[in-house]
Amino acid sequence: MKILVPVKRVIDYNVKPRVKADGTGVDLSNVKMSMNPFDEIAVEEAIRLKEKGVASEIVAVSIGPAKAQETLRTALAMGADRAILIQTDDEVEPLGVAKLLAKVADEEAPGLVILGKQAIDDDSNQTGQMLAALLGWGQGTFASKVEVDGDTVNVTREVDGGLETVALNTPAIVTTDLRLNEPRYASLPNIMKAKSKPLATKAPADYGVDVAPRLKTLSVAEPPKRVAGAKVADVDELVAKLKALGVVA
Amino acid sequence: MKTLVWVEHDGGAIKDATLSAVTAAAKLGEVHLLVAGKGVGGVAEAAAKIAGVGKVHVADDAAFDHALAENVAPLVVELMGSHDAFVAPATSNAKNIAPRVAALLDVMQISDILSIESADTFTRPTYAGNAIATVQSSDAKKVITVRTTAFDKAARDGGSGTVEAVASTGDKGLSRFVGAEISKSERPELTSAKVIVSGGRALQNGENFKTIIEPLADKLGAAVGASRAAVDAGYVPNDYQVGQTGKIVAPEVYIAIGISGAIQHLAGMKDSKTIIAINKDEDAPIFQIADIGLVADLFKAVPELTGKI
Ligand SMILES: Cc1cc2nc3c(=O)[nH]c(=O)nc-3n(C[C@H](O)[C@H](O)[C@H](O)COP(=O)(O)OP(=O)(O)OC[C@H]3O[C@@H](n4cnc5c(N)ncnc54)[C@H](O)[C@@H]3O)c2cc1C
Ligand SMILES: Nc1ncnc2c1ncn2[C@@H]1O[C@H](COP(=O)(O)O)[C@@H](O)[C@H]1O
């Protein structure tokens, strides 16, 4: 089966985001950008399924600016076979992304689409579920284990109370949680090889999808700041503080 | 405006998260609830007593057991014919279901709202809570998940809603529940506890969680939480993780033990009323947001603390 892996270019998780002084958004100029960490986990899972002989081809897709090519090259260097960039400088919301991905899925007919559970910039946690709805497929979200068994995929999910397993008919949607795997680093030879792997560039208009945003960001502000309190010298002082707070008698 | 609130329950009891969603929904308009599951008559009765509730829609069918999104979303879509907003607490069930509903309705979901500014304008955290966006929705119907720590809980009683059965939309046959491993604990739930004791990578193993973190939690009647590092290393189960991509908590007192304070962890607990940190590194970032800090080796300080309270 073919596996489709949508990957998003986002602020690197090690960078502390700074709100722009004019309140229009987060300052991304001269900030390190990387593949969304959950999407690295998605790429890794697809590669492992290919190594097991379950998957035959891995196609990485990104919707974003020309620079998202770098993110796709990273996916190719990890082991994806080819890539599609749907290039736009406009911000595309999860609903628009899901609509574009649904068109790509129509064309590519994958057995699985593996996405991240959440993009660490918008923190929406929506795209995979929306894509599943648009395609009318089953969804195994927040996955910590994925097992393909013929026409069924068993997905163990991280839920509020612990873990839950669902069986889905394929084709299906999976979204990754942190414990699914530990993504590999691309080796230097593979980074070189990735440069010659196919990367097709498209535009949202090629898919005839209206991706105009439904949410308008009116302003972006910093959260209220917490100020550091005092340090206590020892455990006795801490006990006294806990008493003052009323949490111990 | 008529709202439809997702009732989070375990077949018996209604989860506190629901009560916060009710408070949010009440700011938008009339509050109707949806109870879905198998054998949920009792849940519906209890739901009707929540303060401010008008009508409780009950969908009692095995297809809705385990809240499979593939089956629940079409049910919600059906009910949204006569409601203007679907409002759900940001639980793992609702995070699974709500975007599926939104896409079927062709609306853009507003995730994890912190406040309601007007009928179409909301604030929500982005970038691990480092940027609070005010967003305005142009969709006719709204699909919203609610950050439960940002809204007070509606009272569990005082309401006199009516209960109405709704026809099942059936099993779509796309997915099947296989099984679950649910953590059992006598301690309060992480998301509704008044006090939380959380441990990090510094605990070194699961045994130390049991012998160092848990006795303190027991003394304080606290829930136990953890950083991602502690969960990844297998010291505690995944549902203990507090943070951007784990649980969001805001207890009266949060005690972070051997946790450095990465932005992803802070995202899940920085709205706690009082934050206490115990860390042997005086420059650990957690101290920048802690109200009370103790620079100490946790292996000495925590047992001493437990002994003294
Ligand atoms: C996509 C993504 C999502 C993430 N989501 C989350 C999330 O939801 N929640 C989360 O927590 N993290 C999350 N993280 C991980 C986060 O970036 C940090 O790696 C993690 O929080 C670190 O955990 P820690 O503080 O336990 O470990 P460390 O950073 O290793 O800190 C250990 C601390 O213990 C102290 N220490 C060591 N020994 C002792 C001792 N004997 N006594 C006292 N103190 C001691 C050290 O000084 C240090 O400060 C995420 C990361 C990514 C990339
Ligand atoms: N612009 C994008 N390009 C490719 N994939 C995306 C994009 N936006 C979101 N995704 C995918 O959807 C997942 C969830 O994103 P979100 O719903 O925005 O939190 C991500 O982890 C990606 O796998």
Q: In terms of DSSP bridges, do strands A230-232 and B85-89 run parallel, antiparallel, or are they unpaired?
A: unpaired
Q: How far apart are CA B100 and CA A73, in angstroms?
A: 30
Choose, out of A103, A164, A174, A179, the residue to mutate when testing the contact with B (most B CBs < 10 Å).
A164
Using CA atoms, how far apart are residues B9 and B7, in angstroms rounded to an integer?
6
Q: Do A228 and B308 touch (CB under 8 A)?
A: no
Answer whether A31 touches B (CB < 8 Å): no
pLDDT tens across B285-309, in order?
A: 999 999 999 999 999 999 999 999 9
ipTM: 0.97
For residue B135, give the nearest of A19, A142, A216 by CB distance. A216
CB contact at 8 A, A181 and B94: no
Rounded (5°) CA angle B264-B210-B17? 50
Token digits of residue A235:
């455990």
Residues 92-121 of chain A with CB under 8 A from chain B are 93-95, 98, 117-118, 120-121
Is the separation of the CB atoms in A2 and A61 below 8 Å? no
Pick from B228, B289, B309: CB nearest A239:
B309
pLDDT score, position B184: 85
Contact A215 B135 (CB under 8 A): yes
pLDDT given for residue B183 in this prediction: 85
Nearest CB to A229; choose among B181, B264, B291: B291
Residue range B156-175, pLDDT digits in tens: 999 999 999 999 999 999 99
What does DSSP assign to residue A54?
Answer: S
Q: Chain B: nearest CA to A193, how far in angstroms?
A: 32
Q: What is the pLDDT of residue B286?
A: 98
**Among B121, B263, B296, whose Cβ lies nearest the Cβ of A16?**
B263
- Coil, strand, or helix at residue A182? coil
Pairing mode of beta strands B53-60, B30-37:
parallel
**The pLDDT of residue B209 is above 90:** yes
Task: Look at the block and give the residue holding tokens 């606290």.
Answer: B222
Mind listing the pLDDT tens digit for each residue in A27-76? Answer: 999 999 999 999 999 999 999 999 999 999 999 999 999 999 999 999 99
Among residues A75, A100, A82, which one has the least CA distance to residue A90? A100
Compare CB distances from B125 to A123, A157, A160 and report the shortest one's residue. A123
Distance CA B79, CA B27 (A): 20
Q: What is chain B's mean pLDDT, rounded?
A: 97
B183 touches chain A (CB under 8 A): yes
pLDDT score, position B128: 96
Q: Tokens for B116, please give them.
A: 């309601």
Q: What is the mean predicted confidence (pLDDT) over B238-242? A: 97
Residue of B18, B72, B92 to mutate, testing the A interface (most A Cβ within 10 Å of its Cβ)? B92
Q: What is the mean pLDDT of residues A184-188?
A: 95
Q: What angle do CA A8, A12, A15 make, to 5 degrees?
A: 150
Q: Does A16 touch chain B (CB under 8 A)?
A: yes
- Does B92 contact A158 at a Cβ distance shorter than 8 Å? yes
Give the atom of ligand 2 at the shortest distance from the alpha carbon of A68. 3
Contact indicator for B137, A101 with CB cutoff of 8 Å: no
Largest Cα–Cα distance in chain B? 60
Segment 137-156 of chain B within 8 Å of chain A by CB = 137-139
Query: What residues flank ligand 1, with Cβ below 6 Å?
Result: A 13, 37, 120; B 200-202, 227-230, 241-246, 258-260, 262, 264-265, 268, 279-281, 284, 297-299
Please state whether the peptide bond connecting residue A171 to the residue before it is cis, i.e. omega within 30 degrees of 0: yes
- pLDDT at A94 exceeding the cut of 90: yes
- Mutational test site, ligand 2, from A43, A58, A72, A127, max ligand atoms within 8 Å of CB: A127
Per-window interface: B 97-126 vs A, CB < 8 A: 97-104, 106-112, 121, 125-126
What would you report as the CA-atom Rg of chain A, rounded to the nearest whole angstrom? 21
| pLDDT (0 to 100) of residue A249 | 81
Strand order in the sheet with A230-232: A230-232, B292-295, B274-279, B253-257, B195-199, B223-226
pTM of the predicted model over 0.90:
yes
Q: In sequence order, which residues have a C-beta less than 8 Å from that of residue B300 and are 6 or more positions away?
A: none
What is the interface size between A and B, counted as CB pairs within 8 Å? 260
CA–CA separation, A161 and B15 (whole Å): 12
pLDDT at A41: 98
- Name all residues whose Cβ lies below 6 A of ligand 2: A 6-8, 36, 38-39, 42, 61-64, 92, 94, 97, 115-116, 118-119, 122, 124-128
pLDDT at A107 over 90: yes
Burial of A59 (0-12, 13-18, 19+ CB in 10 A): buried
Residue B176 has pLDDT above 90, yes or no: yes
Q: What residue's CA is closest to ligand 2, atom 7?
A: A8
Taking residues A136-143, report their average pLDDT. Answer: 98
Q: Does B91 touch chain A (CB under 8 A)?
A: yes
Separation between Cα atoms, residue A47 and residue A75, nearest integer Å: 10
For the CA of A123, the nearest atom of ligand 2:
19
Contact A143, A108 (CB under 8 A): no
Tell me the C-alpha distance between A242 and B308, whole Å. Answer: 11
Q: How far is CA B242 from the centre of its chain?
A: 11
Q: How far apart are CA A99 and CA B79, in angstroms?
A: 24
Residue closest to B33 by CA, chosen among B124, B151, B154: B154
